[in-house]
């Protein structure tokens, strides 16, 4: 076992978390969320995406959000850019990192970005080149590395193929995404191992949705392989508009609780993170998707400690 002692978390809540929200979330609320996440100690935040507003209307205010955030030294702000048009709009807003996003599944690639895997790489290549020439870091999101809503199970060879293509065009690090949260630990480990054929461990992150309640188990499986970069979404927000029925990412609060409980350092203040989750959940008018946050908020409200509630349930 090669469990790391420190983990870096990218909170993708403002982007992945909110992109699928039906109600319009004002730019000020998104900016307030980014502020609270950095106050809680997050050092990487995925802020928005420069995609077609017809495809993802919630991200149409990308410029307002990126220009409205109060940047803090040492925090990396990333944005999604699927093509040169997205890059050209994004670069004016000075992201620290851009994310090109492909899929290990042909059908998902078509549904999500309207092109084949091969075409997507052709579109990404000039984006990557321009970003690197401008000194902007480049990450590649790899969707459907375990399962696809249209094609079912995805073989690790297809993940290795995509990772190789990403590497070939100069993408510096990649996310192994279980977009629809169907993965289980061994399948996730196989997808990561396939990615490691092309990328160093330090350049691989886990991005697990929690649709089937497996995200923390999958995190542990990734930790066992030494992975130390993870993406999560405060309050468990989110889902992809082109993966119907898939729920949000693993909640950042749940991830931090797990990691701190294992003695793994994150640099994140869990109480402040719970406040950030409460802020956005209150705005959306619903309970947090984080079980840790709900337990800690109940505890704060004096409704008993989670330990006592659990004990009384056994009586």
In the numeric block, which tokens belong to residue 302?
């004096």
Q: Contacting ligand HMG (CB under 6 A), which of 177, 251, 256, 294?
A: 177
Could you give the C-alpha distances from 94 to 10, 34, 53, 151, in angstroms and in order? 18, 16, 20, 37
DSSP 8-state secondary structure symbol assigned to residue 83: S
Find the Cα–Cα–Cα–Cα dihedral 92, 93, 99, 102, rounded to 10°: -60
Mask of contacts with ligand HMG, 86-105, x by CB under 6 A?
Answer: x--------------x----
Transcribe 155-168 into DSSP letters.
-HHHHHHHHHHHHH
Q: Is 63 in the site for ligand HMG (CB under 6 A)?
A: no
- C-alpha of 284 from chain center: 19
Residues in the chain: 315
Q: Contacting ligand HMG (CB under 6 A), which of 83, 247, 281, 288?
A: 83
Phi and psi torsions of 100, nearest 5°: -95, 145
- Measured from the CB atom, the residue of 208 and 296 that comes closer to ligand HMG is 208
Whose CA is closest to 48, among 15, 17, 81, 18?
15
Q: Is 212 in the site for ligand HMG (CB under 6 A)?
A: no
Q: Is 188 in the site for ligand HMG (CB under 6 A)?
A: no
Q: Give the contacts of 265 (CB within 8 A, at least 6 positions apart).
A: 5, 6, 7, 259
Rg of the chain over Cα atoms, rounded to whole angstroms, equals 18
- Measured from the CB atom, the residue of 88 and 265 that comes closer to ligand HMG is 88
- Measured from the CB atom, the residue of 16 and 61 that comes closer to ligand HMG is 16
Give yes or no: 240 in active site: yes
Q: Is 232 in the site for ligand HMG (CB under 6 A)?
A: no
Q: Is 245 helix (H, G, I), strand (E, B) or coil?
A: coil
Shortest distance, position 195 Cβ to ligand HMG, whole Å: 14
- Measured from the CB atom, the residue of 95 and 294 that comes closer to ligand HMG is 95
- Measured from the CB atom, the residue of 59 and 293 that comes closer to ligand HMG is 59
Q: Is 210 in the site for ligand HMG (CB under 6 A)?
A: no
Query: Which residue among the candidates 115, 144, 148, 240 is catalytic per the annotation?
Result: 240
* Binders of ligand HMG in range 239-258 (CB under 6 A): 240-242
Whose CA is closest to 218, among 177, 265, 252?
177
Region of 64-72, 107-115, 127-135, 280-288 interacting with ligand HMG (CB under 6 A): 107-115
In the numeric block, which tokens belong to residue 282?
């209150």
Q: Is 11 in the site for ligand HMG (CB under 6 A)?
A: no
Q: Is 221 in the site for ligand HMG (CB under 6 A)?
A: no
Shortest distance, position 101 Cβ to ligand HMG, whole Å: 4
* Binders of ligand HMG in range 14-53 (CB under 6 A): 16, 19, 49-52
Shortest distance, position 61 Cβ to ligand HMG, whole Å: 12
In the numeric block, which tokens belong to residue 190?
């196989």
CA separation for the pair 211, 227 (Å, rounded): 22
Positions touching ligand HMG (CB under 6 A) are: 16, 19, 49-52, 55-56, 80, 82-83, 85-86, 101, 112-114, 141, 143, 177, 179, 207, 240-242
């Amino acid at each position: 076992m090669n469990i790391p002692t420190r983990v870096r978390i990218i909170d993708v809540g403002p982007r992945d978390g909110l992109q699928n929200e039906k109600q319009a979330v004002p730019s000020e609320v998104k900016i307030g969320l980014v502020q609270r996440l950095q106050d809680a100690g997050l050092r990487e935040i995925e802020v928005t995406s420069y995609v077609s507003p017809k495809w993802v209307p919630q991200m149409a205010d990308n410029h307002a959000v990126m220009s409205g955030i109060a940047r803090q030294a040492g925090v990396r702000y990333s944005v999604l850019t699927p093509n040169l048009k997205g890059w050209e709009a994004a670069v004016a807003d000075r992201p620290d990192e851009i994310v090109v996003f492909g899929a290990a599944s042909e059908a998902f690639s078509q549904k999500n970005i309207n092109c084949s895997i091969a075409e997507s790489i052709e579109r990404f290549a000039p984006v990557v080149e321009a970003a690197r020439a401008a000194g902007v870091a480049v990450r590649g999101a790899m969707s459907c590395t375990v399962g696809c809503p249209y094609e079912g199970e995805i073989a690790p060879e297809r993940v290795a193929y995509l990772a190789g293509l990403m590497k070939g065009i100069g993408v510096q690090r990649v996310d192994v995404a279980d977009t629809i949260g169907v993965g289980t630990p061994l399948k996730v480990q196989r997808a990561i191992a396939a990615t490691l054929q092309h990328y160093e461990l330090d350049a691989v992150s886990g991005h697990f949705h929690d649709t089937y309640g497996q995200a923390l188990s999958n995190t542990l499986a990734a930790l066992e392989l030494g992975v130390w970069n993870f993406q999560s979404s405060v309050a468990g927000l989110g889902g992809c508009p082109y993966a119907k029925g898939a729920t949000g990412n693993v909640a950042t609060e749940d991830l931090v609780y797990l990691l701190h409980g294992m003695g793994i350092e994150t640099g994140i203040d869990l109480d402040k993170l719970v406040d950030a989750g409460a802020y956005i959940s209150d705005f959306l008018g619903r309970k947090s998707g984080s079980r840790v946050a709900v337990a800690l908020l109940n505890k704060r409200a004096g409704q008993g400690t989670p330990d006592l509630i659990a004990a009384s349930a056994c009586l």
